[in-house]
Amino acid sequence: MRKLERYPVEGPNSLWQIYRTVSPWKGIRNFIFIQLARYCPFLPVKNWIYRHVLGMKIGRHTAFGLMVMVDVFFPEKITVGDNSIIGYNTTLLAHEYLIKEYRLGEVRIGKEVMIGANSTILAGVTIGDGAVVAAGSVVHTDVAPGAFVGGNPLRVIREGQR
């Protein structure tokens, strides 16, 4: 089950009220640096931007593939452990803006995790150490350490460690 904080809103949908939640200047600054990181071919530079500009917690030797899109408004809610790989064009979200509420949740990706290309990791999800997420998956629930999961809807392909 995802761990989310829920915030109800009155009036127009929550996305129309986004700048009550986060500064527009933070959004603009983060967008610019995320775009730089998405195209940057140098992993140490990319990780430096994520750590020191966006406030993400990134482990040693973690590799973000080309075009990875991290949460623009709440990147500081994303943690990735040592020696993990986030595949090409993956999206990591720490927020959800809905009609009557918005939700925030930490994204925790363990060490030595492999996330395949074109996957989406939703807010409030924890992916355990050594897990593998197949390409094109939508991760909407926690993934056990060592598990191999894939698809949309997400299903367990091989159980993880007990």
Q: What is the pLDDT of residues 81-100, one digit of tens each?
A: 999 999 999 999 999 999 99
Q: Name the residue range of residue 84's domain.
A: 5-158
Q: DSSP class of residue 59?
A: -
Q: pTM for this one?
A: 0.95
Tell me: pLDDT of 40 over 90: yes
Domain count for the chain, please give it.
1
Give residue-wise pLDDT tens across range 131-147.
999 999 999 999 999 99
Query: CATH no. for residue 148?
Result: 2.160.10.10
Q: What whole-number distance in Å separates Cα of residue 141 and Cα of residue 138?
A: 9
Q: How confident is the model at residue 42 (pLDDT cuts 50, 70, 90)?
A: very high
